[in-house]
Chains A and B, each alone.
Chain A
Amino acid sequence: MRLRSFLTPLIAVVVFLVLWEALVWVMGWPDYKMASPSDLGPAYTRYWELFLVMGWQTLWRTVVGLLLAIVVGVMFGMVMGFSRTMRDALYPLLVGFNAVPKATVVPIVALMFVGMHDFNTVLIAFMISFFPIAVSISIGLSTLEPEYRDILRSLGASQTTIFWKIALPKTLPEFFGALKVAVTLAFIGTNLMEIVSPHGRGLGALFDSGKTNSDYPLMFAVLIALAFLGIVLYYVVVALEKIFAGWAERQPG
């Protein structure tokens, strides 16, 4: 069973790479049109040091942005989940904020905090990823059936006790669902900043330098490296979910 759950996705990845290679070969595309998986190996071996350093830069800034998004998102979610007034007041603002394309915010932020590259990148990663977290927490809390509250309230439990014993654990599955979305969003945010802002750090900057030097295999190699980081972080979230909200998983059948 464990072997199967590991092998199935691995085979899927191999099939994907083979199809990709075949497509490029059949169409006879040169590597400036579409690099093939066999072009990626040389790119990685040539620039492996850059990939490690810049991959790490991208990763830590994404994770910090994500942690910030969790803290702020949970706070917003709690405020909106417990207070109807705050929900009515904040929802339109949040939705509007979320609807603004972050690509347009990047130059503004880059100008506003000029030179503070790490801060800028973390900020965009945070801004793009906190919305789903806030919404999931607020929905989780506001849809708590009154009976759950009554069970504890009738015994004289305080609001805090009800939050820790019932509201919080009950919201965890929704929270982790949102976090999976937020992880990929945060990577998009980090890279937007890294590509646009000329500070030469992170995988986004590596992508940009590939573009400047017409090194197309390098650009594709960066994309695959980003996908890899995204998958790693996603499965970290899955592992945390198993630990903290594994109870929500139904046995199949």
Chain B
Amino acid sequence: MNKLIEIKNVRHTYQTQNGPLPVLDGLNVSVPEGGFAAVVGPSGCGKSTLTRLIAGLMKPDEGEVWLHGERVKGPRSTVGMAFQNPVLLEWRTILQNVVLPLEIVPTKLNRKQQEDRARYLLSLVGLDGFEDKRPSELSGGMRQRASLCRALVHSPDVLILDEPFGALDAFTREDLWQTMHQVKEKEPFTGVLITHDLRESIFLADQVIVLSGRPARTQFLLDVPNTGRRTLDDLYTVQATEMLHTLRHQIEIAQGRAAA
């Protein structure tokens, strides 16, 4: 299949006050079109650096990042991002927040069509009726839903999610996982999800990439079998438990607490 995201042998070192700090060393990731990859790994192993590389916010010291057969040299409007912090603009309504990317990227939509598109996405994530509210009037989970709509409004090829559900309580998080599946059915995208939650990784992704401890390289790849539409019950099957166990073991290796 066509590889949409291709990261080849990426090496990157930050220059800090305490000398050079290598974060990525021999990282390889490839995600086919329409695929959804979850990246897990120990804290501080360079996962967020990976998202910034894909988004073109920074360049790697060595190696190549390709999107859609084009080498990434800088930011590109075909990327959508959502973070753990929903970073909604408090002075805008929810609708105006979602429209924001369309004010930056070139678009053929007029103002009315832009708002219609935003309304459609908001209804898709269950936020109809909240268009004219301010972010401060919404709960954490709702803000994260709005942030997701903003990341999708310009129909990006690539959706980068940097621990978007990390700050939510367990039940809200599970609600949002299901929302993600519904959204992906209607608004297909190729996704990279950074997460610390192994259950989240196998519930959402079709490929889980385990990074080693710093400096990070690709340590392990797990393909999550496609079983059609997933439900939360699927997390309580024998296969799911086996996958989680495998991943858990790999994380321990990455943390240096278990032998390979």
B57 & A156 in contact (Cβ 8 Å cutoff):
no
In the complex, which of the residues B55, B75, B91 contacts A247, with contact meaning CB atoms closer than 8 Å?
A: B91
Task: How many A-B residue pairs have C-beta atoms within 8 angstroms? Tell me.
Answer: 59
Q: What residues of chain B lie closer than 8 Å to A152, measured between beta carbons?
A: 100, 104
A155 & B91 in contact (Cβ 8 Å cutoff):
no
A250 & B136 in contact (Cβ 8 Å cutoff):
yes
Give the nearest-CB partner of A157 in chain B.
B104
A154 & B55 in contact (Cβ 8 Å cutoff):
yes
In the complex, which of the residues A145, A150, A166, A250 contacts B81, with contact meaning CB atoms closer than 8 Å?
A: A150
Knowing A148-B87, A169-B91, the reply to whether A155 touches B136 (Cβ < 8 A) is no
Knowing A155-B105, A155-B154, A156-B76, the reply to whether A165 touches B87 (Cβ < 8 A) is no
- Of the listed residues A153, A161, A248, the one surrounded by the most CB atoms of chain B closer than 10 A to its CB is A153
- The answer, yes or no, to whether B138 is at the interface (CB within 8 Å) is no
Say whether chain B's binding surface is mostly helix, strand, loop, or mixed: loop
Q: What residues of chain A lie closer than 8 Å to B101, measured between beta carbons?
A: 155
A156 & B85 in contact (Cβ 8 Å cutoff):
no
Interface magnitude class on chain A = 20 to 34
B154 & A247 in contact (Cβ 8 Å cutoff):
no
- The answer, yes or no, to whether B89 is at the interface (CB within 8 Å) is yes
B87 & A155 in contact (Cβ 8 Å cutoff):
no
Q: What residues of chain A lie closer than 8 Å to B154, measured between beta carbons?
A: 155
A156 & B87 in contact (Cβ 8 Å cutoff):
no
- The answer, yes or no, to whether B74 is at the interface (CB within 8 Å) is yes
B83 & A165 in contact (Cβ 8 Å cutoff):
no
A150 & B104 in contact (Cβ 8 Å cutoff):
no
Knowing A153-B75, A156-B74, A156-B77, the reply to whether A147 touches B91 (Cβ < 8 A) is no
The digit string for A133-160, where 1 denotes a CB below 8 A from any CB of B, is: 0000000000001011011111111000
12 additional contacts (CB under 8 A) given A151-B81, A155-B104: A145-B85, A147-B85, A150-B52, A150-B57, A152-B100, A153-B57, A154-B55, A156-B77, A161-B104, A169-B91, A247-B90, A247-B134
Can you name 16 A-B pairs with beta carbons within 8 Å?
A145-B87, A147-B83, A147-B85, A147-B87, A148-B89, A150-B83, A152-B100, A152-B104, A153-B57, A155-B79, A165-B89, A165-B100, A169-B89, A170-B91, A172-B91, A245-B91
